[in-house]
Chains A and B, each alone.
Chain A
Amino acid sequence: MIMTSFEQGRVHQMRIHVLPTKRFKTFAISLYIGVPLEESSVTKVALTPFVMRRGTESYPETLQFREHLDDMYGAGFGFDVFKRGDYQIVQFRMDVINDAFVAAEDSLLQQSFAFLGEVLTKPALKQPEYRNRYIDAEKETLRKRLEAIVNDKIRYAAERCIEEMCKNEPYRLHPLGERKAIDGISSEGLLEHYEHWLQSASMDLYVVGDTSLDEVQRLVEQHFQLQRTNETTYHMTPSARVSRDVQTIVEKLDVGQGKLNMGLRTSITYSDDQYAAALMYNGILGGYPHSKLFVNVREKESLAYYASSRFDGHKGICTLQSGIEIENYEKAVDIIKKQLDSMQAGNISDLELSQTKAMISNHVRELGDSAFEMIGYDFNRQLSGKSRTAAELLKQVEQVTIEDIKRAAQTFQLDTIYYLRDRKGE
């Protein structure tokens, strides 16, 4: 496998991972900064990268900051905030052309590190003359982002299902935090929080492209003004076992189509030896167009356009989603429950087994063609503490038997049914 060979180093208690390759026309850089997901900090953590992307010491005005990126042949720069298990991760990404294709004066890799280093350690957030303006504006942006979740009903229903299912766990929190907490964040409070976050968070820096570990370490030493004393690692806790009956939540909004979501809990997570069997469970149930949900809900009954499942291996949660005619709720729930039962009974054909293996294996092999996908895959190792190369995963998937999937299926328990429907009858 091409994608197994990240070289590893460490600078300023930040883990460095470099994959030297000439396959791409770009350098891909990704920095993951992770902290435990907690109600007291989730909104501040979410707000921080929004403010950091406004400007730095050398480019304090946002306009200068963005013009500089354009001058680097339109370097891609972005950030994301997401959950992995009970952790809140901020990711900064850069994507810049390999100098070999353009006539750049200074190395674009060098320029990218100078830029990212400033974003991280010298943001305009530190400068009193910019701080309040940027924080106020980005609080507004964050508020709008949180309020906009309801616009996309597919995503909204998915978020709400998780929120209800995990209402007594940190995982209920949205990665962008809580609207009600935004007003209470002061400029001083955010600055203080940023300094603490920089000190204490887990940091993993990835680079894929025509470079070397030595070069990257040198660039980090030169451009990242960090003073971190401790290296922090991730400790995943699997999904809490909840012993209660299946809860059903019905919510009403102005919608034309009903959104039916379900959440299942499993004790199997990424670090588990049964992980490959859990992937197969999800694949056979609803990962693909040949899967039970697609075939039975869509193709056989014409009840839906989409009907699928997704497995979050860090949290140990499997979610199902479908969009249906409003009055077909009971019929759809019934058909979906039958698919869950048939998984537990081990009613899986050899064809379903081989097709799903082929699809998962294909997906794993394809990761190697995208720099950011390779980075994302390797980051699983940091999150879970479990090293499983793509080649190992392929082998484990290949060895899974129907009996293994049946055994894994016993651990998947339906927890929550969430239904978003119209307001009729209110």
Chain B
Amino acid sequence: MQTIQHPELQETLYYEKMPNGLDVYVLPKGGFQKTYATFSTRYGSIDNHFRVVGGEDHQVPDGVAHFLEHKMFEEPTGDIFATFATQGASANAFTSFDRTVYLFSATEQIEANIETLVNFVQNPYFTDENVEKEKGIIGQEIKMYQDNPDWRVYFGVIEAMYGVHPVHIDIAGTVESISTITKETLYTCYNTFYHPSNMLLFVVGGVDAEKVMSLIRENQAKKNYGEQGEINRLFADEPTAVYQQRKTSQLPVSLPKCLFGLKEKKILELGEEQLRRDLITKLMLDIMLGSSTPLYQKLYDDDLISDGFGFEFNTGKNYAFSIIGGDTRDPDQLIERIRTAVEEMKKTGFDEAHFERARKKKVGNYLRMLNSPESIANEFTNYKFRESDLFAVLPVYESITLDEVNARLREHFDWEQLAISIVESPAQA
């Protein structure tokens, strides 16, 4: 077991790689009642075309990763929620573009709950019948999202930016795509992506690190996993240009929802360079559009944005983009105003005072995040899967220079890469 100290944060992290390749991290939090654990696989909605070295190519229907997540909760003995409930644990799971995460939080029977978590994820049980039954439930989940204008406008902008890369495919798939899923599809994906060497367990809370490690060591030693070759995820070439400049959908909304995205031209490999670019970009967007900037205030005063206005920078394997926007009475005017302001900023660059203030804010937000076991576990895994380190974030923020931010501003805001998504009421169209 390796001990990784972070004295400036008053945190100590413990790490061990199990012989079968599983990465286990434990972060004891003195004084905390609860333990929160996540068991995650590097497998999400974008991994729909793959090959294990020495094996054959698989192209699977949209929504399989999410379908698999649903079906994992069923065991030959019944629903695993019931077992967690008996042990006082609140369990859940989610699927994103590039990972599937199973989790629980509990204040008692921690060891039993950790074992339950690891065992149920490592014990698939799919039958023709239980796969069919799930289609009705997921169908309703898909319909729920279709009625949700925030989800529609968000996914709309990704669909507008990407025509080939599977990031544009809705995580749950469609009613049609999931209708073709069988238990065989699920087993193929499971056997590929749920090998321990593709997974990470994170435990945070009032626990003893050595106890947790030995529990996992013994648990894994009882299971027979053969060596697995490297997983090759196959991505067809995504054109640099956006797929569609503007995408409009109709749903009843009180004001049009407008998000616009800028598709990154330069794709970086996962790792430190990407982490640095991510953090620089986030800082840059905050200096430009954060709620304490002159531009934000001006747009608010002119009734072009409201409190829900926001922005993000999202990056993963072979994709990277920013998304900006919110509810607005006039989508085109909003975009035009931001565009003009950004062009002005590109000429002058940001000043030192705004840069330092934004940096300070980021440092504060980062420290606040460390109060939350849920955030630590999820963010840590997120960073690890991108081959970087959550605990390296603070030193990176401290080393970023104003010149880097200004250079990034000029690089990222290339309006050739703009795609717009709008959701409006039929009457507003």
- On A, residues with C-beta under 8 Å from B are 2, 21-26, 62-63, 66-67, 69-76, 95-97, 101-102, 137, 140-141, 144-145, 147-148, 150-154, 253-257, 288-290, 295, 298-299, 302-306, 323-325, 351, 354-356, 358-359, 361-363, 365-366, 368-371
Interface assignment of B149: CB less than 8 Å from any CB of chain A: yes
Interface assignment of B253: CB less than 8 Å from any CB of chain A: yes
B79 & A299 in contact (Cβ 8 Å cutoff): yes
Q: How far is the CB of B154 from chain A (nearest CB, A)?
A: 13
B364 & A365 in contact (Cβ 8 Å cutoff): no
Complex-state Cα separation, A253 to B9, whole angstroms: 51
B252 & A288 in contact (Cβ 8 Å cutoff): no
B107 & A304 in contact (Cβ 8 Å cutoff): no
Q: How far is the CB of B91 from chain A (nearest CB, A)?
A: 8
- On B, residues with C-beta under 8 Å from A are 9-10, 30-34, 79, 81-82, 85-91, 105-108, 133-138, 140-141, 143-144, 146-150, 205, 251-255, 290-294, 297, 300-301, 303, 306-307, 327, 357-358, 360-365, 367-368, 370-373, 426
A150 & B86 in contact (Cβ 8 Å cutoff): no
Q: How far is the CB of B252 from chain A (nearest CB, A)?
A: 5
Complex-state Cα separation, A358 to B300, whole angstroms: 47
Complex-state Cα separation, A302 to B205, whole angstroms: 36
Given contacts A24-B371, A74-B360, A362-B34, 18 further A-B contacts (CB under 8 A): A23-B30, A26-B368, A66-B292, A70-B292, A74-B361, A101-B10, A137-B303, A144-B254, A147-B255, A254-B252, A256-B147, A257-B147, A289-B85, A299-B79, A302-B133, A362-B88, A362-B107, A369-B32
Complex-state Cα separation, A161 to B238, whole angstroms: 47
Most buried by B among A26, A144, A150, A303: A144
Complex-state Cα separation, A323 to B291, whole angstroms: 35
B368 & A305 in contact (Cβ 8 Å cutoff): no
Most buried by A among B33, B90, B148, B293: B33
A74 & B426 in contact (Cβ 8 Å cutoff): no
A368 & B33 in contact (Cβ 8 Å cutoff): yes
Closest A residue to B86 using CB positions: A355
Instruction: Give how many A-B residue pairs fall within 8 Å (CB-CB).
Output: 184
Complex-state Cα separation, A305 to B134, whole angstroms: 10
Determine which of B81, B358, B364 lies in contact with A97 in the assembled complex, contact meaning CB atoms within 8 Å. Answer: B364
Q: Would you give 14 A-B contacts (Cβ < 8 Å), ordered by A? A: A2-B31, A22-B31, A26-B368, A70-B361, A257-B140, A289-B81, A289-B91, A305-B144, A358-B86, A361-B107, A362-B107, A362-B108, A366-B34, A370-B371
Complex-state Cα separation, A76 to B91, whole angstroms: 29
A71 & B426 in contact (Cβ 8 Å cutoff): no
B-side contacts of A25, CB under 8 Å: 10, 367-368, 370-371
B303 & A140 in contact (Cβ 8 Å cutoff): yes
Closest B residue to A420 using CB positions: B147
Complex-state Cα separation, A153 to B252, whole angstroms: 10
CB-CB under 8 A for A365 and B107, given A137-B301, A290-B81 = yes
Q: How far is the CB of A52 from chain B (nearest CB, A)?
A: 14
Complex-state Cα separation, A70 to B292, whole angstroms: 8
B140 & A74 in contact (Cβ 8 Å cutoff): no
B85 & A358 in contact (Cβ 8 Å cutoff): yes
B367 & A366 in contact (Cβ 8 Å cutoff): no
A256 & B367 in contact (Cβ 8 Å cutoff): no
B85 & A302 in contact (Cβ 8 Å cutoff): no
CB-CB under 8 A for A369 and B82, given A66-B291, A305-B137 = no
Complex-state Cα separation, A137 to B304, whole angstroms: 12
Complex-state Cα separation, A354 to B85, whole angstroms: 8
Most buried by A among B10, B136, B292, B303: B292
A151 & B140 in contact (Cβ 8 Å cutoff): no
Determine which of A140, A362, A370 lies in contact with B89 in the assembled complex, contact meaning CB atoms within 8 Å. Answer: A362
A26 & B367 in contact (Cβ 8 Å cutoff): yes
A141 & B32 in contact (Cβ 8 Å cutoff): no
Complex-state Cα separation, A368 to B33, whole angstroms: 7
CB-CB under 8 A for A304 and B137, given A362-B108, A369-B373 = yes
A-side contacts of B147, CB under 8 Å: 153, 255-257
B-side contacts of A298, CB under 8 Å: 137
A-side contacts of B140, CB under 8 Å: 257, 303-305, 323-325
Complex-state Cα separation, A89 to B152, whole angstroms: 33
A2 & B87 in contact (Cβ 8 Å cutoff): no
CB-CB under 8 A for A74 and B362, given A298-B137, A305-B144, A366-B33 = yes
CB-CB under 8 A for A70 and B357, given A304-B137, A359-B88, A365-B34 = yes
B-side contacts of A71, CB under 8 Å: 357, 360
Determine which of A153, A255, A305, A355 lies in contact with B141 in the assembled complex, contact meaning CB atoms within 8 Å. Answer: A305
Q: How far is the CB of B246 from chain A (nearest CB, A)?
A: 21
Complex-state Cα separation, A73 to B291, whole angstroms: 15
Determine which of B82, B253, B291, B293 lies in contact with A355 in the assembled complex, contact meaning CB atoms within 8 Å. Answer: B82
